[in-house]
Amino acid sequence: MPVVRRVLVQGGGVGGLTLAAALGRRGVEVDVVEASGPDAVLGVGLNQPNNALAALDEIGVREQCLAVGFPFEPLVIWNPAGVQVAAIPPPEGRYGRPSNNAISRPLYNGILRAAAEEAGVRIRTGATVWEMAEDADGVEVQLATWTGKRTPPVRDEAASRARYDLVVGFDGVRSRIRGHLFGDRYVPEFTGSANWRITLPRPDDLTAIAFALAGPVKAVLTPISPEQMYIALVTPEPGNPRHDRADFPRLVRERMAGFSGRLGELRDAVTDDAAITYTPLEQVVVREPWFRGRIAIAGDAAHTSTPHLAQGAAMAVEDAVTLAAALDEHPSLPEALDAWYRRRRDRALFVADMSLALLKQESGAELTDQEAALVQLGIPGAQARIAQEAY
C-alpha cells in the first residue's frame, strides 16, 4: 500500500510518464503537467539499453517498445572512412537480451503516455506549476498555462488549487522544481560540445549503432526503423554559438569534413535543414538528496547525462520505477524518499560523471584526476558495470 494517495508529476517526458504509469498501476491518483502541447517536437530517436527495457517491463511496455524499435547487440566501430574496424560485444549482465533497442522518440513517448492513461493518470499539456505551498500534510499547488517555452507561463486563475501528498519534478535539465528546492545552487552548465541529429534513410547493412571518430568530432549512426536512421554528431562548439537553422546543412557538412568513404557520402547527402536538430549539451548534477519534505526531483532534473553512454533516459526510467517501488515498500514518505535516493545516487551519478568524462576526452579537454580514472574504465567497462549492477 503506497504511502501517498495523490501525486503531481511535473514533466511528461520519459521519466515523468513512467513514474505516473508505475504509481497509477498501484492505485495512486496521479496528475501530470507537461509544458509542451500535444504536437510538441520530441526529437528523433534514442537507444534503450537492456537495463531500461527491464525497468520498462515493470510498467508492461517492454514488448511494445521492442515491437516498434530496432533491437541490436554489439556496438560497431568504424574508421573515419566508414569501414568497420571492431565490434564491441555487449557485456554479460543481469538484464538479458536484446542488449539494446533503438526507438523513435515520438513512438516511445506515445507508448508511455498510453500506459499512463491506461493506469488512470490525468495528463494536462500546456501546463506547469505556478506556485506551491507545503505544510505538514501536503503540498497545495496552483497551476499556470504555458503556451510556449519562449513566453512566460500565465497563472491559471480559473484552476482551483489542488493538494497533493507528493510533487515530483521530472521536468528536465532546466527543471523549475529543482530551482524551487535549491534556488540557483544547481544550474545547467554548457559542456563545450553540442549534438547534431540528422535523420536519413537507413542503409540496409546498418543493423547496430556504429561509432566513428574524426579528430574531436564523433559520428554515431543509429538505426531506428527498417526505413530510418539518424546520425548523431557530437562536435566542440566553443562559446556555445547560436546557429541559424538555414545554416544547419552547411555547418553539418563542414563539421563532417574529416570523414570520407561512405561517411563522406552520407555527409554530402545532408541538404535538408528540416531533417536536422541541434542541441547544446548541458550538464547539471545535484550531489545532495533530491528531495525536501514532500517535493522531489528525478531524471535529468537531478542528474543530466551527455549522450556518451546512451543512458540518460534509462536512468530516468530507473529512477521512476524505483521511486514508485519505494513509495510502496516503506512505512512513511520520508523513509521512502531517503531509501530511494540512497538506492539511486551512486548509479545515476556514475553515469553522469562517466558520460561527461568521455565527452571531455573525445573533445580533447583537460580531465580532472577523477575523470582520468573514469576514462581508464572505457565504454565497455562502464557498460559492464551498469549491466551487472542492480538498479
Ligand X SMILES: Cc1cc2nc3c(=O)[nH]c(=O)nc-3n(C[C@H](O)[C@H](O)[C@H](O)COP(=O)(O)OP(=O)(O)OC[C@H]3O[C@@H](n4cnc5c(N)ncnc54)[C@H](O)[C@@H]3O)c2cc1C
Using CB under 6 A as the binding rule, whether residue 99 contacts ligand X is answered as no
Measured between alpha carbons, how far is residue 210 from residues 29, 234, 336, 359 in Å? 43, 14, 41, 17
Q: Which strands sit side by side in the sheet containing 100-104, from one edge to the other?
A: 45-49, 100-104, 70-72
Using CB under 6 A as the binding rule, whether residue 223 contacts ligand X is answered as no
Residue 365: φ, ψ to 5°: -80, 160
Which residue among 2, 3, 9, 11 contacts ligand X (CB under 6 A)?
Answer: 11
Question: At closest approach, how far in Å is the CB of 369 from ligand X?
Answer: 26
Closest to ligand X by CB, 179 or 293? 179
340-359: which residues touch ligand X (CB under 6 A)? none
Per the CB < 8 A criterion, the answer to whether 119 and 113 are in contact is no
Is the preceding peptide bond at 98 cis, omega within 30 degrees of 0? yes
Closest to ligand X by CB, 179 or 258? 179
Using CB under 6 A as the binding rule, whether residue 279 contacts ligand X is answered as yes
Closest to ligand X by CB, 25 or 303? 303
* Lookup: cell for 5: 494517495
Closest to ligand X by CB, 310 or 336? 310
Closest to ligand X by CB, 78 or 108? 108
Question: At closest approach, how far in Å is the CB of 177 from ligand X?
Answer: 8
Closest to ligand X by CB, 36 or 260? 36
127-166: which residues touch ligand X (CB under 6 A)? 128
Question: At closest approach, how far in Å is the CB of 339 from ligand X?
Answer: 20
46-65: which residues touch ligand X (CB under 6 A)? 46-47
Using CB under 6 A as the binding rule, whether residue 310 contacts ligand X is answered as yes
Rg (Cα) of the chain, in Å, rounded?
21
Question: At closest approach, how far in Å is the CB of 16 from ligand X?
Answer: 5
Closest to ligand X by CB, 16 or 138? 16
Closest to ligand X by CB, 28 or 52? 52
Q: Which residue blocks in 231-368 are alpha helix, DSSP H?
A: 248-255, 261-268, 312-329, 333-363
Question: At closest approach, how far in Å is the CB of 36 from ligand X?
Answer: 4
Residue 197: φ, ψ to 5°: -125, 125
Question: At closest approach, how far in Å is the CB of 256 from ligand X?
Answer: 16
Write the single-letter amino acid at 58: E
Burial of 215 (0-12, 13-18, 19+ CB in 10 A): middle
Task: Report how far residue 313's alpha carbon sits from residue 278's, in angstroms, rounded to the nearest whole number.
Answer: 18
Closest to ligand X by CB, 216 or 261? 216
Task: Report how far residue 117's alpha carbon sits from residue 32's, in angstroms, rounded to the nearest whole number.
Answer: 10
Per the CB < 8 A criterion, the answer to whether 72 and 208 are in contact is yes
Task: Report how far residue 62's alpha carbon sits from residue 135's, in angstroms, rounded to the nearest whole number.
Answer: 38
Using CB under 6 A as the binding rule, whether residue 90 contacts ligand X is answered as no
* Lookup: cell for 148: 510556449
177-216: which residues touch ligand X (CB under 6 A)? 195
Which residue among 314, 321, 333, 351 contacts ligand X (CB under 6 A)?
Answer: 314
Measured between alpha carbons, how far is residue 332 from residues 165, 254, 328, 339 in Å? 11, 56, 9, 11
Which residue among 31, 58, 237, 300 contacts ligand X (CB under 6 A)?
Answer: 300
Which residue among 6, 26, 36, 381 contacts ligand X (CB under 6 A)?
Answer: 36
State the residues that interact with ligand X by CB under 6 A: 10-16, 33-36, 46-47, 128, 170-172, 176, 195, 232, 279, 299-300, 305, 307, 310-314, 316
